[in-house]
Every structure is written in structure tokens, then in C-alpha cells.
A and B are shown apart, each in its own frame.
Chain A
Amino acid sequence: MTATEHTADHAHDIFADEDAYAAERETTEGRVYTVTGGDWDELVAAVDPVNDERLIVNLGPQHPSTHGVLRLVCELEGETVRSLRPVIGYLHTGIEKNLEYRTWTQGCTFVTRADYLSPIFNETGYCLAVEKLLDVTVPERANVIRVIMMELNRIASHLVALATTGMELGALSMMIYGFRDREKVLDIFEAITGLRMNMAYVRPGGVAQDFPEEAITMIRDFLEYMPKGLDDYEGLLTGNAIWQERTQGVGYLDVSGCLALGVTGPVLRSAGLPWDLRKTEPYCGYEDYDFDVPTHNGADAWARYILRLEEIRESLKIIKQGLDRLEPGPIMVADKKIAWPAQLALGADGMGNSLNHIRHIMSQSMEALIHHFKLVTEGFRVPAGQVYTAIEAPRGELGIHAVSDGGTRPFRIHMRDPSFVNLQAIPAVSEGGLLADVIAGGASLDPVMGGCDR
């Protein structure tokens, strides 16, 4: 049957003879319904209430409200979720294995793609691990730049969390506003690094290139703009009765539950424990910044919503202080055996090796050419040993377990990604609740499957 026939006189037949949306078939394990749309009440009415008390519904892996390619197998009794099993791995790309076949510097290009909403955090966590193995200290300016970039990234990530949660709960304006304002952060990233996402900007020993002049202006404009945006979101959602109904008391997970399940980040702080690695185990000079760690006692989706808004305000404070602390200086360690040799500059065809550097290595210094070539192709050697570094990513603790065998490539990198660990809590926050609250509770955990599956 072709499409044109459908739309013409046969249109009514589809619904009369068979349900185009909910096809059913008998299997050895019972009757199986494949639901792709249509009316839920009609489907439930078709289920024999005596013999089929429990309905197993497969959400995802391709469904907008499952936050990427996440599959949830729910066992329902009516609308109540009796059990829920998350199935992951659909976005596994073997990043950890690939890292073992690239140099330490090339690793940045891979780790940045894990949790695609917080690329700067992946890079910084990885580079902190490499720097700990190398025992080098990055210059002050590089640290401040990292902090500014991380906090901008935290805002962008929290905006996506708010936007997608809004979308999933029917507050579509929040989705539009959230993505619109995240775009402003991505514009800043593009001006600084050349890329909106996956920038591989933070490198072992510092950062790839210095802030361009317009970046400071753009960030200051953003600092000016963002508080108004936050007021807008609060005006839209906080007093909204539907939003309150959908989030308050939903997705409850208290401190002991969080600790048992290893859940960190905003979800842990929404349960009242002020555990933030920026305060408890400072890195990149966070101990010198004046900011608060917001907490809430609700331990539900509402508390996490309030908390993310608060954290954006704190991030704005940190960025402002970072801009004030930005002193001229090097952005890469002085050791030329580690620092990437190319001096990047803007040319007629975009960002690339600076012409001065090319002139130097191609016509002035044979040794500079050899050094450039060797460092780029061979990489630098990292003393053998293992370290674990942890940073506070937007979703919780991002840990990097790095093992070196003394070679030019990582021997093993393990990313302890907060999405992976936090996602284990989905059954705990949704079993016993309603099916609709699975989406609200799951969204409040803010899982990103790129980081979860790596």
C-alpha cells in the first residue's frame, strides 16, 4: 500500500481493521504489544485485566524523553512502576581502549567526546591526571582560564538539564529558553577555541591557546545577561503549579541512598550534603575563589531544579572573579619537551599554525623542526605509575584513573563518569511511583549517555 492510497479513501481502514500503532502478537512468553504511538487507554483496555496484571513496557532506546540512547524496561501494574531496569551500552564507543593507541596529548581529543555536554571537564580531569603523573605545575593564567571555561561549561550543561527536563514535563518554553541561552555559552567557546563542542582545548601542561581579545568582552556581556535569564526561568517555572506538581516529591533519594549508590553532584547536594570537590578537595586554584555550595533538603526533582539554578548563579560569581584574576602570562608549562610546539594564530583560512612558527621551523632552525616533528609524532614520555584525580563535573564526581607504563601512550585510562554511576539510581528513584514520574525522576539525575557508555 502506498502513501497516497493511505491518505485518500483507505485512511479510515487502518484503524478499523488493525491498530496501526499497537500491533499485538502471541509469543511463548505471553502477548506482546509494539507501541509506537496512539491512545494509551485503548491499549490498556485491550489487555486482559485478569491474566495480564503486569505489563512490561520497553522505553527507548530511541525515545526523546529517555535522554539519549537509554533503554528502560519497566514492569507496570496499571500506571505504577513495579520494577525498572536500565539497559545501557548503546553509545559505547571504546574511548578508553582507543586512548591506549594514541599519545598522551592526542588523548584530549578522545576524552572530550565522552560526556559531550561537559567537554571541558573531561579534558581538565584527564589533563590533571597526566600532569600529576608528570609532576608538573601549570601556570597561573592557564589555571584561571581552565576555571573560567569549566564554569561556563557548567552553566551550559545545567541549562541543557533544565531545558530537557522542561521539555519532558511539557514546559516547552523552558526548552527554547535553555537552549537559546546555552547557545550564548557555545558562542563564547567558539570564539575562544574555534569549536562549540569537543574542543580539546585543555591540554596536558596548560591550554591550547590564549583567550582572544573579544572573549573577555563576550564573557562580560554574558555575565550581564545571564542573571536576567535565570530570573526568567524562575518566573516561568518556580511558581508554576503544574511544574511544582510534577517535580515536588518526585524522584526522592536521600543522603544514605546517594552514598550507597555512589551518587554525587547536584543530586547528592539536593539531599542536603554539601559535598562539592571544588571545596572539599580543591584543584585548579578553586580554594582562592569566593563561592557557596548551595544545598537543599528536598531530595526530589524539585530540589535538583532549584539547586541547578543556584549553581548557575554561583558559577557566574566564579567566572567574574576569574576574569578579575586573569593576569598576563604563559598559558602552557615552560618545559618545551611537554608543551605543544605549534604557536596557533588566526590566518586567512582560519585558525592554524602561526606563520612565524612555520617560518622558524622550515627555514631557520633544523633543531626546531626536529623537535616539533618528534613531539607531535612521538609525543612525550610519562613516568610510570598510577594516579586518580577527581573533579566536580556538572553531574558529580568525574574521576580519571590513569596508569602509565613509562611510555608515550596511556597504558590505561578509566573514566569514572558521574552519568554512569548516577544512572544506577534510576530504579531507586522510580520504582513504586507512576510511569510519568520515571521521566521526571530520571531527568533530574541528568544522565548523559555519551559519558555513561564512553
Chain B
Amino acid sequence: MSGEIQPVGQEAQGLFGVTGSGDTSGFGGLVRPNPTAGELVSTPEPLGGYFDEILAALRDAHGEEITRSVVVDRGELTIYIAPDRTAEVCRTMRDDESLKFELCNSVSGVDYPTQANRLHVVYHLTSMTYRRRVRLETAVSVDHPVVASVTEVYPTADWQEREAYDMFGVVFDGHPHLTRILMPDDWEGHPQRKDYPLGGIDVEYKGAHIPPPDERRAYK
């Protein structure tokens, strides 16, 4: 195990998801699939509540194919859209009378290393008028990590897109000043990607070595 970066978000084997040691539990043959891999399955419509209204307004403005996939999970609506259309969708979300999502709460990235388009960008929008929330999500590959910037629509996305660029290497097309924000300007790599090691040194205490956190035994 030592020296090897523990992969995150991949399929787990055995009862405890631990490899490299003898399995005495008798469940070593168990394989749990990776829930974050594979095709996205849309929630069947109608979704209920205000979710359908949002989808109808979006499709009216941009056509049926604007929503690639729609998922309702734990009472939250996620709309998957194409990476080059985030800006126009956000403009509709903000300006359409029936949507009025005035506030862009958060822009964050997620790295799903087992997917082809592994870098996801997630936007959380709030309509203060109607007291609704919605999540927009888009995904790009590492080879062509370009997403349309929404800073024109939501100036608050400025720093948050810079953070997503800094941490994940997502390039926001149309951002006025896309530079690193939390890491030093000359930093190499994008720290929040799953293949970027956490780092750390092992600690010796009374002769025993405790490995750094990313090399310790992990249960999946």
C-alpha cells in the first residue's frame, strides 16, 4: 500500500473495500459497483412541483435538447446541460419572468475520474422571487476542459470560476481574468483533481511509522 495513492470513487471489492491484505471475512469476492460511473439516468417526467415549470421554460427558450439529463434526488433538481451553453442557459434562468434566478450561490467543480467527461462544474442558483433552488451541471474532459463562463450573467461567478480553474483546471471561456486564486500563480497541477496526491509525510512515534493520510488504509 505504501506510496500508492488510494483511488477514490472507484468500484470497491470485498466487505471493507480494502486491498493488499488477507481477507478473513469470507466476503472477499463481493464487488460493489461504482455508483458515480456509467450513463446518467434521467428521472421520469413529470417531476412534480416547480421542477416541471423550470424545465418547460428552459425548453421553450432553448429547444428540447437543452436539458441533456434531468435528475431529481433528495428533493433537489439537477439539470445537466452542454458545457458551451452554460452562459445562455444562465441568462434565461436569470431573466425569464417565470424563472427569475437572481442569485448564483455557488460554482464548484467535481472530478469523477472514471468518467470520460470527468470534470464536472456545478452551479447552484436561487430564485429569491419564487424561493426556488436549482442545480445546473455540466461535464468536460481533461483534454478539452472548456466551459462557457457565466460571469457576464452573474458577476459573482468571477472568483468562483477562478477557483474551479485553480483547483480542477476547467477553462472558462469568456472569463475576464482567469488566473489562479488560492494557489500561487506558478503552481503546477490542479490540486482538487482525484489523481493529484494529498501529500504529507509519515510520522514516527516510538518507533512506529504512521503514513500520511492518503497512504493509510482506507475503507470504501
Residues of A at the B interface (CB closer than 8 Å) are 88-89, 92, 94, 96-98, 100-102, 132-133, 135, 259-264, 273, 275, 280-281, 377-379, 384-388, 390, 397, 399, 401, 403, 405-409, 411-412, 414, 416, 420-421, 423-424, 453-454
What residue of chain A has the Cβ atom nearest to residue B214's Cβ? A101
Contact A262 B219 (CB under 8 A): no
Closest 3 CB pairs of A and B: A262-B156, A384-B35, A414-B108
Query: Inside 8 A of A96's CB, which chain B residues have their CB?
Result: 167, 192
Asked if B218 is at the interface (CB within 8 A of a chain A CB), the reply is yes
Contact of B110 with A403 in the complex, beta carbons under 8 Å:
yes
Question: Is B131 located at the chain interface by the 8 A CB criterion?
Answer: yes
- B8 near A453: Cβ-Cβ < 8 Å: no
Nearest B residue to A397, CB-CB: B105
B39-47, B60-68, B84-92, B177-185 - the one binding chain A: B177-185
Contacts of A378 in B (CB 8 A): 16, 219
Contacts of A94 in B (CB 8 A): 191, 198
Q: Pick from A133, A406, A411: contact of B74, CB below 8 A.
A: A133
A/B interface sample: 6 pairs, CB < 8 A? A97-B191, A261-B156, A386-B76, A388-B76, A406-B32, A423-B159
Question: A132 and B36: CB pair below 8 A?
Answer: no
Bound Cα distance A296, B24 (Å)? 66
Within 8 A of A (CB), among B150-171: 154-160, 163, 167
The smallest beta-carbon distance between A70 and chain B, in angstroms, is 13
Task: Report the Cα distance A436→B6, complex, angstroms.
Answer: 51
Interface contact A384-B36, CB-CB below 8 Å = yes
Select from chain A the residue with minimum beta-carbon distance to B33. A406
Assess the B182–A88 pair: CB atoms within 8 A: yes
Provide the bound-state CA to CA distance between A261 and B158, in Å.
Answer: 9
Contact: B131 with A405, CB < 8 Å?
no
Q: Contact: B182 with A262, CB < 8 Å?
A: no
Q: How far is the CA of A449 from the CA of B100 in the complex (A)?
A: 32
B9 nearest in chain A by CB position:
A405
B34 at the interface (CB under 8 A from A): yes
A405 to B36 Cα, complex, angstroms: 6
Asked if B220 and A408 sit within 8 Å, CB to CB, the answer is: yes
State the CA gap A380–B61 with chains docked (Å). Answer: 44
Closest to A410 in B: B8
A97 to B213 CA separation, bound complex (whole angstroms)? 11
- 6 A-B pairs besides A96-B167, A409-B8 with CB distance below 8 A are A89-B181, A132-B74, A378-B16, A401-B124, A405-B9, A409-B218
Chain B residues positioned under 8 Å from A401 (CB to CB): 106, 108, 122, 124
Q: Which residues of B contact A379 (CB under 8 A)?
A: 219
Whether the Cβ atoms of B8 and A411 lie closer than 8 Å is yes
Task: Known A92-B183, A378-B219, A405-B36; judge A280-B9 contact (CB<8 A).
Answer: no
* Nearest neighbor of B198 in chain A, beta-carbon distance: A101
Across-interface contacts of B133 in A (CB, < 8 A): 388
Residue of A nearest to B187 (CB): A89
> Given the complex of chains A and B, what is the CA–CA distance between A101 and B36 in angstroms?
18
Min CB distance, B186 to chain A, in Å?
Answer: 13
Across the interface, B184 reaches (CB within 8 A) one of A89, A264, A388, namely A89
Q: Which residues of B contact A421 (CB under 8 A)?
A: 156, 159-160
Partner of B159, one of A406, A409, A424: A424
B143 shortest CB reach to chain A, Å: 21
A92 surroundings in chain B (CB, below 8 A): 182-183
Whether the pair A399, B105 counts as a contact (CB closer than 8 A) is yes
Interface residues of B in 175-213 (CB under 8 A from A): 180-184, 191-192, 198, 213
B152 to chain A, nearest CB (A): 11
B124 and A98: CB pair below 8 A? no
Q: How far is the CA of A261 from the CA of B128 in the complex (A)?
A: 15
Chain B residue, CB-CB nearest to A453: B182
Cross-chain contact B213 with A101 (CB below 8 angstroms) = yes
Which residue of A has the minimal Cβ distance to B122? Answer: A401
Min CB–CB distance B10 → chain A (angstroms): 8
Q: Is the pair B156, A408 in contact by a Cβ cutoff of 8 Å?
A: no
Task: Assess whether B104 is in contact with A262, with CB atoms less than 8 Å apart.
Answer: yes
Task: Determine the chain B residues whose CB is within 8 A of the CB of A403 once the complex forms.
Answer: 110
Which residues of chain A come closer than 8 Å to B131, judged between CB atoms? 280-281
Contact A412 B111 (CB under 8 A): yes
CB distance from B134 to the nearest CB of A (A): 10
Contact B181–A88 (Cβ < 8 Å):
yes
Q: CB distance A412 to B214 under 8 Å?
A: no
A262 to B34, CA, bound (A): 35
Contacts of B74 in A (CB 8 A): 132-133, 135, 385, 387
**Distance in angstroms between the alpha carbons of A273 and B109 in the assembled complex:** 30
Question: Is B97 in the interface zone, CB < 8 Å from A?
Answer: no
CB-defined interface of B90-125 with A at 8 Å, one 1/0 digit per residue?
000000000000111110111100000000001010
Q: Which residues of A contact B35 (CB under 8 A)?
A: 384, 405-406
Complex alpha-carbon distance, A206 and B72, angstroms: 27
B34 touching A97, Cβ below 8 Å: no
Give the residue name and chain of the B residue nearest to A408 (CB): B219
Q: A378-B16, A388-B106, A421-B159 are in contact. Are A411 and B9 (CB under 8 A)?
A: yes
Asked if B81 is an interface residue, CB under 8 A from chain A, the answer is no
Q: Chain A residues with Cβ under 8 A from B110's Cβ?
A: 386, 403, 411-412, 414
B155 adjacent to A261 (CB under 8 Å): yes
Which residues of A lie under 8 Å from residue B216 when comparing CB positions?
101
Task: Give Cα A378–Cα B18 distance, bound, in whole angstroms.
Answer: 10
Cα–Cα, bound, A379→B156 (Å): 37
A262 close to B154 (CB less than 8 A)? yes
- In the complex, what residues of A have CB within 8 A of residue B76's CB? 386-388
Chain B residue at smallest Cβ distance from A92: B182
| Chain A: minimal CB distance from B169 (Å) | 14
B73 interface contact, C-beta 8 A? yes
Cβ–Cβ contact B124 & A416, under 8 A:
yes
Q: Are A390 and B105 in contact (CB under 8 A)?
A: yes
A401 CA / B78 CA spacing, docked (Å): 13
- Give B1 Cβ to nearest chain A Cβ, in Å: 14
Q: Which B residue's beta carbon lies closest to that of A88?
A: B181
Report A-chain residues with C-beta under 8 Å of the C-beta of B28: none
